[in-house]
Structure 1
């Protein structure tokens, strides 16, 4: 059997940090290419919905949230597929789903004169993207951890996150540039093609056999990690608000360069993970989260009070730097509670809290923007971040003695 189709075992000899990173890089490329289908439309959809389809900020919020709602509703399915059929299969199906999402965008663009039906097609595309993203990220996280070993769980999350938010940071200006030069249909076509390149990378990687043993029911897995997940959901509100409403905030204040705010977020996010990505594994997730979540709050306050686009860029960068390590910090602690045969379900359940955070962000922030103004949405997100700090402390106190421990996964 060829090396591209052979099955590796999860019981591998412990790797050094550099060896683990080397093994993770192809997976990072795979996720980056697939996740560009998520990043590219983010800078385009708010303006398209508002200007072309003539809907207000509340509808913008719901359209952005539809992907997260779709992802949330399919996380259990993604975890089941990953644990029973293998992470590689989940990733392959996920990349195809991401590619199909572009068809919904394309149909929306073709019939954009019929505003309601165009919106329905757009929502269908966002829902399909939610399913694809769910399978892609759940499978990729489990595949990465199985490849490098549980001792490098934080490192695996770091590199998947670098790929995800690198794709968002790069995808936003790319999407805006394609929209400005070629129009919405070109964005839809590009968003359909890029995941197919991710598919080719995934097909060439060796699969990881699912772990044997008795599996916990999904609701029991959620019960083991929900406190860490709730802290993650609350800290995700700021990220969701930025990507849904930064462009409209810039436009309302007469500023230009909103896509660069998303790029600033992405650059800071990637830089923080490159320089400090080993800290969750080295110091423990709790210590790291107690630093990174307040940094997010500072960035959101800066966005709320920003008097000019330069200040808004700085706030976006602070938010990116803080949120960067919050995900692996809370995740390193959460994954210790779940046996390896439920790792896919655990990843699905944990990442589902990102979906919960994003899912509540769109409607709530849209309502706040409609009744007040766009900067007020960042103030509300800052409050959510403060609550996230208390949630993370509570998770540590309640679960501090219940972890299975990473050594038992080896």
Structure 2
């Protein structure tokens, strides 16, 4: 793709333009996929639970199938994208995310609901992986951190609005209208896909997702982010249960403060990464995340719960931005799909395993101590984070020495 910055601007040291027409079209697909997903995220479990013979087990199964299918889709998406191209994968993902929502209310049987969730999970995974790789190809390397942070904001705002709005619409208008809304948002956004780059974004040798996970350059940031995402899954799932019913206002404030703080800090971290590098943000983001979970352990103190959720959100946003920016900077364009897949798998798997594991631990220890143990678990990710910093430092020294030898040989 041709740069929008002319030779005169480059000579003057101007920063390359960030927001281009293709990136604006990418914003449309980000908002469409995120809004469609989050509108139904809390609605479908309620729909399953309110059906014939419904129970909390069915509600949990609906979400479990959705997230399991998402992880499976994320693991297979890089292989498919290498053969079909990112643009086709993104369009297919939006179709698979939107169309099944139209059919959801045809039946309240658990088999039907699970089938719809499975297809929508695969579709959402395709939009995440293919869309993430396309995003990286549309952003100038000099402004990668800021650009990725901007995309994060575009995806985060629909989640802030979509979750409560979906529940409100289902309660006031029924399940049918909210399903239609979620379907149409995804399907209409397909119109923006033809304006995005096609197969050229996948040219070059591809990097397999398992090979990427085994490599330290991608594996270490993936582990750090996955451990941090454990806390996100726990906060969203268990905070309403851990705090006494008389403090429901604190829970509402905390559940708003956490994603709002994460969105704001992700933007800050992205801009900082472009100026000073992303590597130095990983450890502070991890420590802030663990500290926030530790403060949340004071479940009987409403102010502590809200403050802890906000601190966790700040750390989580920083870690989100720093890890994905680092990972994209370490691969050629042909590896963008693998990076997108690894990062999203870490996100979804971390949230899922965190919620399941926390529930089991809390049954023995109670919620406060389970939060403390979670914070300690998160701090263990300091080991791979430090290893990554050391390896990156050694690589920079090696590169400097190689450049010096090359320069000496040219004299």
2:147 to 150, 156, 161: 156
Aligned: 1:281 with 2:252: no
Structure 2 residue 163 is matched with structure 1 residue 165? no
CA shift at 1:234, angstroms?
0.5
Q: Deviations over 1:104-138 (max 9, x none)?
A: 7535xx42xxxxx43x4443333323212221121
Partners of 2:161 and 2:263 in 1: CA distance: 11
Moved more, 136-145 or 195-204: 195-204
Q: 1:214 aligns with which of 205, 220, 241?
A: 205
Q: Tell me by how many angstroms 1:252 deviates.
A: 5.2
Counterpart for residue 66 of structure 2: 67
Report how far residue 143 of structure 1 moved: 1.1
Moved more, 241-250 or 294-303: 241-250
3-state SS of 2:18 partner: helix
Q: For residues 195-228 of structure 1, what are the alpha-carbon distances to aligned partners after superposition, in whole Å with 9 as ceiling and x for unaligned?
A: 1232233344454623433334443222221111
Query: What is aligned with 1:106?
Result: 105
* RMSD, matched Cα: 3.4
Q: Which moved more, 1:46-55 or 1:147-156?
A: 46-55
1:46–1:248 contact (8 Å) kept in structure 2: no
In structure 2, relative to structure 1, the CA distance for the partners of 1:387 and 1:163 (3 Å cut) is farther
TM-superposed deviation, 1:64: 3.4
The yes-or-no answer on 1:297 pairing with 2:296 is no
CA contact (8 A) 1:293 1:323 kept: yes
Task: Give CA-to-partner distance per residue, 1:279-313, whole Å, 9 cap, x none.
Answer: 12322222111212222222222332133555433
Question: Equivalent residues in 2 for 1:325-364 (5 A)?
Answer: 325-364=318-357
Q: Is the 8 A contact 1:295 1:322 kept in 2?
A: yes
> Counterpart in 2 of 1:395?
388
Would the aligned equivalents of 1:158 and 1:325 in 2 still touch at CA under 8 Å?
no
The structure with the larger Rg is 2
User: Which residue of structure 2 aligns with residue 20 of structure 1?
Assistant: 18
Q: TM-score, normalised by structure 1?
A: 0.81
Alpha-carbon offset, residue 261 of structure 1? 3.8
Matches within 5 A, 1:195-214: 195-207=186-198, 209-214=200-205
Structure 1 unaligned blocks of 5 or more: 1-7, 112-116, 406-410
Distance 1:229 1:327 in 2: 10
CA deviation map 1:317-360 (0-9, x unaligned): 22222211212211222233323222212322232222221231
Residue number among 214, 226, 234 corresponding to 2:219 in the alignment? 226
What's the CA shift for 1:63? 4.4
Aligned partner of 1:3 in structure 2 is none
Contact persistence 1:83–1:210 (CA under 8 A): no
Q: Which runs of 5+ in 2 are unaligned?
A: 400-411
C-alpha contact 2:95 2:123 (8 A) present in aligned 1: yes
| 2:171 counterpart of 1:180 | yes
Change over 3 Å in CA distance of 1:382–1:194 after alignment to 2? farther
Q: Give the TM-score normalised by the residue count of structure 2.
A: 0.80
Aligned-pair CA distance for 1:142? 1.4
Number of equivalent positions: 388
SS in 2 for 1:325: helix
Would the aligned equivalents of 1:65 and 1:360 in 2 still touch at CA under 8 Å?
Answer: no
Q: Deviations over 1:219-253 (max 9, x none)?
A: 32222211111111101011112223334446856
Residue 87 (structure 2) aligns with: 88
Q: CA distance change for structure 1 residues 384 and 198 in 2, over 3 Å: closer, same or farther?
A: farther
- Structure 2 counterparts to residues 117-136 of structure 1, below 5 A: 117-118=109-110, 120-136=111-127
The answer to whether the 8 A contact 2:266-2:320 is kept is no
Residues 361-408 of structure 1 deviation map (CA, whole Å, 9 limit, x = unaligned): 232233335555555654444233212233322233345545899xxx
Stretch deviating more after TM superposition (226-235 or 396-405): 396-405
Whole-Å separation in 2 of the counterparts to 1:218 and 1:12:
34
Other-structure match for 2:135: 144
Which fold has the larger relative contact order, with Cα–Cα distance below 8 Å and residues 6 or more apart in sequence? 1
